[in-house]
Amino acid sequence: MLIDCGEGTQIQLRKFKLKFSKIDYIFISHLHGDHFFGLMGLISSFHLNKRTRLLTIFGPNGLDEIITVQLKHSNTRLNFPLRFVPTNPENEELILEEKKFQVLTFPLKHRIACTGFLIKEKSGLRNLIKEKLLENKLPLEAINSLRQGKDFKDESENVIYSVKEYTHPPRPLRSYAFCSDTGFDMEIVKYIKGASLLYHEATFGNEEKERARETFHSTAADAGVIARNAMVGKLLLGHYSTRYLDLSPLLEEARAEFPETYLSEEGITYTLD
């Protein structure tokens, strides 16, 4: 999965040795150039590298027209199928359902239609307690039921083998929320509540609070307030104004609101606990 695709995306992918041929889903938050100007180049590279696998792009209305016009006037017939799925900038919406995860969109407060993305891990099969299996020889039907997180019962609905007794507790499911360009908006909280990791723009410091409001952007402190109220695990700041050569003041302002805050930096991997 790739979220947003600004100019220079391919350079960065190659620089950090990421196998971007494996990308099957691209999510574009909105149609400002720094979030999608690298998309056509990436599509072209897939084509030149003889990709044959389906590529699905999720984005705002109008992005499909932009892609189509460029392919039309360059007389390009792609080697691979390309599917476009429009996003809804007004309401929360489930846009992708896979075996191990799902992706939802939610509205952001920006100058043009803009959506955030929430990637949620789905429950997998439970691990059985080996010692219990050695004590009792369970039928295959019971094992399948327990691994799916269901007690195994008899015809009278009496529990014969309980999930609690025969399986290890599942680890907490992980989730990642992405808020690209947005003004300070407490409405976001309900969509990202409890996310393991939140990326939230932090374009300005507190001294530019009015500028942030005028341009529908956020301060680092705004991001911290959102993270605190949403009770997320960690906060990643990003989308910094180029005026800030030293990002430490932004980090300090956000941490004053939410201690588990970090600067997103190029080439760094961030884990979801």
- Give the catalytic positions in this structure: 34
Looking only at the bridges linking them, the beta strands covering 159-161 and 175-179 are: unpaired
Cα separation of 37 and 47, whole Å?
A: 17
3-state SS, residue 53: coil
Q: Which own/partner pairs from 245-249 qualify as long-range (CB within 8 Å, at least 24 positions apart)?
A: 249/205
Residues 25, 2 contacting (CB under 8 angstroms)? yes
Phi and psi angles of residue 221, each rounded to the nearest 5 degrees, phi first: -65, -40
Give 217's DSSP letter: -
CB atoms within 10 A of CB 147: 16
CB atoms within 10 A of CB 102: 16
Single-letter amino acid code for the residue at 64: D
Give 128's DSSP letter: B
CB atoms within 10 A of CB 28: 22
Cα separation of 207 and 219, whole Å?
A: 9
Element (H, E) at 66: helix 63-73
The rounded radius of gyration (Å) of the Cα atoms in the chain is: 22
